[in-house]
Amino acid sequence: MAVDKKFIGRKYGPLVYEVGWEKAKEYARAIKNEDPHYMDKEFAKTTKYGGVIVPPTFAVVFSGHLSMPFFFDPELNLDMAMLVHGEQAFEFYEVVRPGDVLTTSGAISNIENKEKLDTVSLEGTTTNQHGKVVCKATYTFAIRKRG
């Protein structure tokens, strides 16, 4: 069953995520990037940022939460057994720091119905507690058709 194009524009969020330093350090270790900007408070104080920042790709953590209400939206009726992550893209605007409170909102931006699969793109914008845009994310999922 095809994903109905009537869902283009369907909104999700706002979702709030507070960035924790320990979580950000764990993420940096997991991606094998223990840059002192992320790990060393004393070093980070001496940089142009004036303190610890988190890796840019940590955006997959806070903006990725947008996919949960999308995946479990009962009206979309996605065939989760046939859904695969297609691609993701980010545009970065502000650095993220431990303690930031980030709010992500988004919407389905595109649905394409093809012979053997449907693709659905979900776009989100994340702002910090100061109202500044931190990043914009686009996630594209492919839902293969059965049969």
Please list the residues that pair with 138 across neighbouring strands.
Answer: 89, 123
**Structure confidence at residue 10 as a pLDDT band (50, 70, 90):** very high
- Asked if residue 2 is part of any domain, the answer here is no
**Structure confidence at residue 5 as a pLDDT band (50, 70, 90):** very high
| Structure-token match 């790990």, residue found | 39
What's the predicted TM-score (pTM) here?
0.91
- Asked if residue 37 is part of any domain, the answer here is no
| Phi and psi, residue 146, nearest 5° | -75, 150
- Asked if residue 48 is part of any domain, the answer here is no
- Asked if residue 28 is part of any domain, the answer here is no
User: Which CATH number characterizes residue 104's domain?
Assistant: 3.10.129.10
Give the N- to C-terminal CA distance of the chain in Å, as an integer: 10
What b/e string do you get for 119-146 counting C-beta neighbours within 10 Å, with b at 16 or more?
Answer: bbbbbbbbbbeeeeebbbbbbbbbbeee
**Structure confidence at residue 140 as a pLDDT band (50, 70, 90):** very high
- At 14-34, the pLDDT tens digits run 999 999 999 999 999 999 999
- Determine the structural domain holding residue 92 and report its residue range: 8-19+55-144
- Asked if residue 33 is part of any domain, the answer here is no
- At 52-91, the pLDDT tens digits run 999 999 999 999 999 999 999 999 989 999 999 999 999 9
- Asked if residue 47 is part of any domain, the answer here is no
